[in-house]
Chain A
Amino acid sequence: MSRTLLTGNGAAAWGARLAQIEYLPAFPITPQTEIIETISAWIDRGDMACRMVTMDSEHSMITAAGAAAATGVRTFTATSSQGLLYGMEMLYAVAGWRVPLVLVNVSRALAAPVTLEPDHNDVLAARDSGFLQIHCATCQEVVDTMLLAYRLSEDKRVRLPVIVNLDGYYLSFTREPVELPTLDIASRFLPAPTIRTDQIQASQPTSQGIAVLGGSQYSYFRYEQHLAALASLSVYEELGREYGELTGRFYSALELYQSEDADTVFVMIGSFATKAKEAVDRLREIDLKVGLVRLCLVRPFPAAELAAALAGKKGVAVIDQNLSMGQGGILFHELTSVLYNRPDRPRVITSYVGGLGGRDISLEDFRGIAEETAQAAKNGHAPPPRLLYTAAELTQMRGLQEIAKTQKNSRGHTL
């Protein structure tokens, strides 16, 4: 194994290469495009035996990917943001087909207003689609997760498509040291694709994605999909151990950082969670006993694991890099719902929304969250959900609104 500097996009491309993908339907969107450019250059040079096809949209791209996967071809595709949403109809369909497929989403906040920088509203919009979701925090995790995702997706007990998520800019364009598994090690874990017994074959025609009416059969198929998603949790744990024994890098549904003895625990997903680790180290120096629990899996939702990791904590602060309009942070609501019936649930759970559109989450923010949550645990009641947003930011906004003549129309009339 060699250690080399790779961007998150480079790591995703290497993951696809080590997974020996055979088919790649593609459509460009920032900040994902570099993945496809990297792979297409490899195909061009003869480094990869893969068929790449450029499509006319993400809708076609995901359709083609699902159809190819149904024929037993190991398929990869990637998108971001609006692209994921444009293909949304087919995410549900492909998951319903029960075909194995890995799709990388490079998170980018959704329009409007338009931006290029990340948050998780794009990928979380797909949380009910039936795709499993694995969220990466480092470039190393991206390459490893690609291999895990194919094993998980192709496992007979699961056979569901998987989204591997990495944050735009903070991972996609950021180089970090990555230990690349050799092809030998990678293929010991994820063997080269072979003819699967469950694929479509011309000699044995099947009808897939069939229509059912009346609801009863529909309920059966849909609930089976749900049960498979739930069952994928223990499969992932099994694979994470197996991968660790081969490479020394173990993976699990949760990452725990200094959480065992912590009074206050941050709960997060994605690359901003490494900022939380820095905050944990620094805040412990000023006697704030904090820790971090990061969800690596968002679908399936690791409910029991979370409950165990957070049992008996004084305070838990969920930091959502997403916003469900009219409700609040998505993870906060998912977490509180799985903890509600537990007698050993944390005393308070606080909700913070931050990092929208790539807005930084500073050490000051983490300190504020830790102190406010510790205080809430003492009083026994949680403060209302909070947007991480400072007075200085609003002052800057006011300046821009002044330039935009926000309160006047073009004829100078007050609106």
Chain B
Amino acid sequence: MYRIRMHGRGGQGMKTASRILGTAFFLEGFEVQDAPRYGAERRGAPMFAYVRADRKTIYERGIIVHPDLVVVSDDSLIAMATAGVLTGLTAETPLLICSNREASFYHERYDLKCQVIVFRLPPTTSSRSPRSSSCAGAAAALLGMISPHNLNQAVAQELHTLPSNLLKENQQAARTVFDKLQDFKGIVQRRAKMEIGRPQWLDLPLEVASIAAPIIHAPASSLQMNTGVWRTLRPTIDLEECIACGQCNTYCPDGAISLNTEGKPTIDYDHCKGCLICLAQCPAQAITAQPEQEEVS
């Protein structure tokens, strides 16, 4: 069986990527299972999708803990423990990242033992990047048994609602990435069956309701939840342009903008989710947005 896990952010198309890959496998005659997993269902929040493919009926279900290939559509997720990108990765598991950086960057930064392969998104004419098709095309190249024809078909099947020019662009993107990664064709290895250990069960003790009831006593514990990591676009305020009207503070749905005594705003980037409502509201056009990417320290 092949087990592939694809990580992205809500809205980046990783569910679609997993479906394209699943359909491509299916067209190659494999039995297939694919599914997305969302936590908080929101754009920008980390999510993943997974694909299983085998020559016989698949009985396994649920989250893939020991993947044969991990695909990441957004490199800022790697550092995020809750995203679980590196969970179950071994030296034999290729890590495929959609990024403009070199593979060596990730090796050094995360002390990775596995092979890291990076690919760039092909340029597009439209505003919607063909990220899902590219990720599926990249994964297909590394897997090695998916033909360009079936990859093309799979993109067409999964994106059949797109206008034909966009569909074509997606098909081209999948193919471009697929061709570029041919040096890595077939490097994904199916994991040998792992030995089944014994469960470390525990007898759950009876505890008093003050402990055992689902109650959070700690005040403002949501501050500990770094929702800023969901952000794909970062708003920046140019204080020179700012006229201290306070609109951004009023409209921010996350209360992530505070005003100082002069009425000038500051953004709390640990909790700004990047919705850009502030940008839309600012009468002085003092707020701009830049794509987030992992900072190089």
Judge: A and B partners, yes or no: yes
B32 & A404 in contact (Cβ 8 Å cutoff): no
Q: Would you give the shortest CB distance from B156 to chain A, in whole angstroms?
A: 14
- The residue on B at minimum CB distance from A365 is B199
A274 close to chain B: CB less than 8 A: yes
Q: Which of the residues B62, B203, B224 comes within 8 Å of A170, measured between beta carbons?
A: B62
- Interface presence of B86 (CB below 8 A): no
Q: Which of A272, A286, A367, A403 contacts B199 (CB 8 A)?
A: A367
Q: How far is the CA of A405 from the CA of B218 in the complex (A)?
A: 5
Interface assignment of B36: CB less than 8 Å from any CB of chain A: yes
What residues on B are CB-neighbors of A391 within 8 Å?
200-202
The residues in B between 165 and 203 inclusive whose CB is less than 8 angstroms from any CB of A are 193, 196-203
Per a CB cutoff under 8 Å, which of A5, A113, A283, A415 touches B32? A5
Do B200 and A275 have beta carbons less than 8 Å apart? no
The interface residues of chain A lying within 8 Å CB-to-CB of B31 are: 177
- Given A5-B22, A410-B219, decide whether A282 and B196 contact each other with a Cβ distance below 8 A: yes
- Give the shortest distance, in Å, between A137 (CB) and chain B (any CB): 10
Measured in the bound complex, the distance between the Cα atoms of B198 and A286 in whole Å is 13
Query: Are A173 and B35 interface neighbours, CB within 8 A?
Result: yes
- A169: which of B34, B35, B197 is its contact (CB, 8 Å)? B35
B91 within 8 A of A: no
Q: Shortest Cβ distance from A404 into chain B, in angstroms?
A: 4
With beta carbons under 8 angstroms apart, the residue of A278, A368, A388 that contacts B59 is A278
Chain A CB within 10 A, most for which of B201, B219, B221: B201
B59 and A112 form a contact (CB under 8 A): no
User: A113-B214, A401-B211, A403-B224 known; A390 and B200 CB under 8 Å?
Assistant: yes
Q: Which of A96-118 contact B (CB under 8 A)?
A: 112-113
Q: 8 Å CB contacts to B: which residues of A332-378?
A: 360, 362-365, 367-368, 371
Q: 1/0 per position for B4-20, CB-CB distance to A under 8 A?
A: 00000000000000010
Question: In whole Å, how far is B169's beta carbon from the nearest beta carbon of chain A?
Answer: 24
Interface string of A266-295 (1 = CB under 8 A from B): 000001101101100111001000000000
Give the docked Cα–Cα distance between A167 and B9 (Å): 25
Does chain B have a CB within 8 A of A37? Answer: no
Provide the residues of chain A in CB contact with B219, threshold 8 Å: 410
Binding site of A, secondary structure by majority: helix, strand, loop or mixed? mixed
Contacts of A404 in B (CB 8 A): 215-218, 221
Q: Which residues of the other chain, A, contact B202 by a CB distance below 8 angstroms?
A: 389-391, 393-394
B118 to chain A, nearest CB (A): 29
Q: Is B23 an interface residue (CB 8 A)?
A: yes
Determine whether the beta carbon of B217 is less than 8 Å from that of A175: no
- Please tell me which one of the listed residues B23, B35, B60, B199 contacts residue A275 in the complex, with CB atoms under 8 A apart: B60
Contact in complex: B196, A367 (CB < 8 Å): yes
**A407→B210 CA distance, assembly (Å):** 7
Does B251 have its Cβ within 8 Å of any Cβ on chain A?
A: no
Given B26, B204, B216, B217, which contacts A177 in the complex, CB threshold below 8 Å? Answer: B26
Q: Tell whether B55 is near chain A: CB-to-CB under 8 Å.
A: no
Structural contact, B198 and A364, CB atoms closer than 8 A: yes
Interface membership of A409, Cβ < 8 A: yes
Please give, as numbers and ranges, the residues of chain B lying within 8 Å of A282 by CB-CB distance.
193, 196
Interface residues of A, count at CB 8 A: 48
Q: How far is the CB of B210 from chain A (nearest CB, A)?
A: 4
Q: Which residue of B lies closest to A406 (CB)?
A: B211
Q: Is B128 an interface residue (CB 8 A)?
A: no
Closest to B50 in A: A174
B132 adjacent to chain A (CB < 8 Å) = no
Q: Which residues of A contact B204 (CB under 8 A)?
A: 387, 389, 394
**Which residues of the partner chain B approach A7 to less than 8 Å between Cβ atoms?**
35
Say whether B218 contacts A403, CB under 8 Å.
yes
- Encoded as 1 (CB less than 8 Å from any B CB) or 0, chain A from 394 to 412 comes to 1000000101111111100
Task: For A386, list chain B residues within 8 Å (CB).
Answer: 201, 203
A409 and B22 CA atoms in complex are apart in Å by: 49
Q: Are A174 and B214 in contact (CB under 8 A)?
A: no
Q: Are A274 and B196 in contact (CB under 8 A)?
A: no
Q: Which of A170, A175, A286 contacts B61 (CB 8 A)?
A: A170
Shortest beta-carbon distance from B155 to chain A in Å: 14
Q: Chain B residues near A177: list those with CB within 8 A.
A: 26, 31-32
Contacts of B216 in A (CB 8 A): 404-405
B63: Cβ under 8 A from any A Cβ = yes
Per-position binary interface string of chain A over residues 250-275, scored 1 when its CB falls under 8 Å from any chain B CB and 0 otherwise: 00000000000000000000011011
Check: B73 CB closer than 8 A to any chain A CB. Answer: no
The reply to whether B199 and A360 form a contact with Cβ atoms under 8 Å apart is: no
CB pair B211–A272 under 8 Å, yes or no, is no
Cβ–Cβ contact A360 & B22, under 8 A: no
A392 and B23 contact, Cβ closer than 8 Å, known pairs A406-B215, A408-B217: no
Given A403-B218, A403-B224, residue A175 in contact with residue B201 (CB < 8 A) = no
Residues of B within 8 A of A174 (CB): 33-35, 61
List the 8 closest pairs (A to B, CB-CB), nearest first: A278-B59, A415-B210, A405-B218, A113-B214, A174-B35, A368-B199, A364-B199, A404-B216
Add 16 more A-B contacts to A176-B58, A386-B201, A391-B202 (CB < 8 A): A5-B19, A113-B214, A169-B37, A275-B59, A275-B60, A278-B60, A281-B59, A363-B196, A364-B197, A367-B197, A368-B199, A389-B201, A392-B200, A393-B202, A404-B215, A404-B218
Interface residues of B (CB under 8 A from A): 19, 22-23, 26, 31-37, 58-63, 193, 196-204, 210-211, 214-219, 221, 224
For this complex, 27 residue pairs linking A to B, each with C-beta atoms less than 8 Å apart, are: A5-B32, A7-B35, A112-B214, A113-B214, A173-B35, A175-B19, A175-B33, A175-B34, A177-B26, A274-B61, A275-B59, A275-B60, A277-B59, A283-B196, A360-B63, A363-B196, A364-B199, A368-B199, A386-B201, A390-B200, A392-B200, A394-B204, A404-B215, A404-B221, A406-B210, A406-B215, A408-B217
